[in-house]
Structure 1
Amino acid sequence: MNPLRSVIAIQPGQPASDGAGVRLTRVIGGGGLERFDPFLMLDEFASDNPDDYIAGFPPHPHRGFETITYMLEGHMRHEDHLGNVGLLQSGGVQWMTAARGIIHSEMPEQEQGAMRGFQLWLNLPAKDKLGDPGYRDIPASEIPRLTSQSGVEVVVIAGQFDDGQVRQQGAVQRPHTEPYLFDLHLPAGSHIAPRLPQGHRAMLYVYQGSLQLPGASPQSVAAGRLVRLSDQGELHLHSQDGARLLLIAGKPLGEPIVQYGPFVMNTREEIEQALRDLRDSALA
């Protein structure tokens, strides 16, 4: 067997609040973003208390990156200044390219029940940061699902899943960052070895159950923790008692990252221009 990707760090998510007071767990975000390049933020929202999510995310701007929202349970409505309207439902994905600018809202379409899902921010290369914005709704029926020979269910959102036995193209392919985004459901006693390009930054976020990572120093990862892996080697995942997790990988851009709230550019001057454009109603 070839060398395995090693564990660089295991870290818990932190309680946070965003939008109009939506309670969530911030898994990635804040300082040290270069460690996760090309990913900028990962939030998990999970509550069956409407007070935690009902205020939603009223209109707000973005520039310079893409947002990927994956809904496990619940209903959220998207509207933006370009005229796009979409209803994100259980199992669906919204892939929004902010690029030079988009102003949108994400509001719950429910007043009770569980709201559970994730939002991931994916950086854009400098040459595309002021390109055309875009928006795509991907219902659950259009997202490929497969079951591996060991019984692992794989939701292939982006990239290509390949474990040497089964290969499946995902719902989304993106140039430059070449992201991989899988939702993996490992039954008790199962294992899986997804193939990832060498050099891709790779992370795992366990959101249910527990995961075992083999190697010279085997490690067990509990729910609510992010695993940051090395950029080289094979990836082998096991679960003794069952686990659900996101596998996130992408090609680093290696460019400067300057963030100010909902704007992610390469220089401070570009951030200042974004603020002027927002003030002058010229964001997009």
Structure 2
Amino acid sequence: MKFNRQLERLVTGINTQDGAGVSLVRVLTNDLQRRLDPFLMLDNFHSDKPEDYLAGFPDHPHRGFETVTYMLAGRMRHRDNAGNEGLLQAGGVQWMTAGSGLVHSELPEQEDGLMSGFQLWLNLASGDKMIAPSYRDLQAEQIPQVSPRPGVKVKVIAGEAFGTAGAVQRPHTEPLYLDVQLDAGQQLDLPIPAGHNAFLYVYEGGLRIGEDSRSAPAGRMAILSNAAEAAGVSLQAESNSRFLLIAGRPLNEPIAQWGPFVMNTREQVEQAIQDFRDGRM
């Protein structure tokens, strides 16, 4: 097997605000949506300053894609107009399929302390964009973990890794979502399905990637090259490191986006806006 994906490009995220003023880093931006199809966005929020997160994300709509929120620290309450409610806590995942549309809020349930985690937007295939919305809360203990050898720990949020099925499986996009911990000096050959677009986001430590051992420091996204014969990527931790590995099968469909609505045509987006204004979401 050839684990010969290489580091194609390092990306520095953009500091921004979203919701009612939550400070975050937008790692995967609109200009990368075609290259990293089926992924639309990745945000990293990390602050122990209440003014950076207390306002949260009040009621707002979505249609046409899925949101995956992974908490490292803190507490966030979800409510939506379909009657779903859940508390997202450290180590947990909220997987929401917006489908035909819903309105929800994500509000901190803490007034101080560290709030840290990620939100990923995953596109839906054209035939699934108007499916019924759904929502799933996964607590930390529901996320499978595997340790292929000492010094390596892998949380399998979606997909499959090292013979362990993840908490979530999805057709069409077949996402692989891993949170990997490598002790300093540890090497790992990480399988990635052939044909999937893939990237790493290093949030602690630093990695050497591929046969040429290019460095990816903390706070950077590493886009991995595509190679038809590649079984995955070879990694080595420069220090104690944690990173996300995210990969998915590209949909190769048109992307028409206006804020929280992601469809295939402008007309579909305009219909989504009208449906929201008319209370049909």
For normalisation by structure 2, the TM-score amounts to 0.97
| 2:35 alignment partner, SS class | helix
Paired position in structure 2 for 1:181: 177
Aligned partner of 1:219 in structure 2 is 214
> How much does 1:197 deviate?
1.1
2:90 pairs with 1:90: yes
| 3-state DSSP of counterpart to 2:51 | helix
2:186 pairs, out of 170, 190, 193, with 190
Q: For residue 46 of structure 1, what is the aligned residue in structure 2? A: 46
**1:266 and 2:264 aligned:** yes
Question: Shift of the alpha carbon at 1:218?
Answer: 2.3
- Counterpart code for 1:229: L
Q: Could you tell me which amino acid in structure 1 is paired with residue 225 of structure 2?
A: S
Deviations 1:85-139 (A, max 9, x none): 0000000000000001010000000001000000000000000001110000000
- Name stretches of at least 5 consecutive residues in structure 2 with no aligned partner: none
Q: Check conservation: 2:76, 2:109, Cα contact below 8 A.
A: yes
Instruction: Tell me, in whole angstroms, the C-alpha distance in 1 between the residues paired with 2:134 and 2:160.
Output: 22
| One-letter code aligned to 1:214 | G
Which shifted more, 202-211 or 148-157?
A: 148-157
- Matches of 1:195 and 1:80 in 2, distance apart? 36
Select which of 211, 224, 228 maps to 1:229.
224
- Of 124-133 and 149-158, more deviation after overlay is shown by 149-158
Q: Deviations over 1:19-72 (max 9, x none)?
A: 000000000122341111000000000000000000000000000000000000
Q: Determine the structure 1 residue equivalent to 2:250.
A: 252
In the TM superposition, residue 6 of structure 1 has moved relative to its aligned partner by 2.1
Letter of the structure 2 residue corresponding to residue 174 of structure 1: R
Return 5+ residue gaps in structure 1 as ranges.
none
| 2:108 pairs with 1:108 | yes
Supply the distance in 1 between the matched residues of 2:99 and 2:226 (Cα, whole angstroms).
Answer: 27
User: What secondary structure does 1:231 align onto?
Assistant: coil
Report 1:48-63 matches (<5 A). Answer: 48-63=48-63
The aligned counterpart of 1:123 is 123
Using the TM superposition, name which of 2-11 and 88-97 deviates more.
Answer: 2-11
Q: 1:53 and 1:157, CA in 2 relative to 1: closer, same or farther beyond 3 A?
A: same
Give the Cα–Cα distance (whole angstroms) in 2 for the partners of residues 100 and 8 of structure 1. 35
- Residues 211 and 242 in structure 1, CA contact (< 8 A), matched pair in contact too: no
Q: C-alpha root-mean-square deviation of aligned residues, in Å?
A: 1.0
What's the CA shift for 1:240?
A: 2.4
Match of 1:161 in 2: 161
Contact 1:206 1:221 in 2 (8 A): yes
Higher mean C-alpha displacement, 110-119 vs 236-245: 236-245
Give the Cα separation in 1 of the matches to 2:108 and 2:94: 14
Conserved 8 A contact 1:150-1:191: no
* Aligned mates of 2:157, 2:30 — CA distance in 1: 25
1:5 aligns with 5
Offset from partner CA, 1:177-217 (integer Å, 9 cap, x none) = 000000001111111112111001110000111011132x3
Distance in 2 (CA, whole Å) between partners of 1:240 and 1:31 is: 30
> SS state of the match for residue 272, structure 2?
helix
How many pairs were matched up?
Answer: 278
Distance in 2, Cα, partners of 1:142 & 1:150? 22
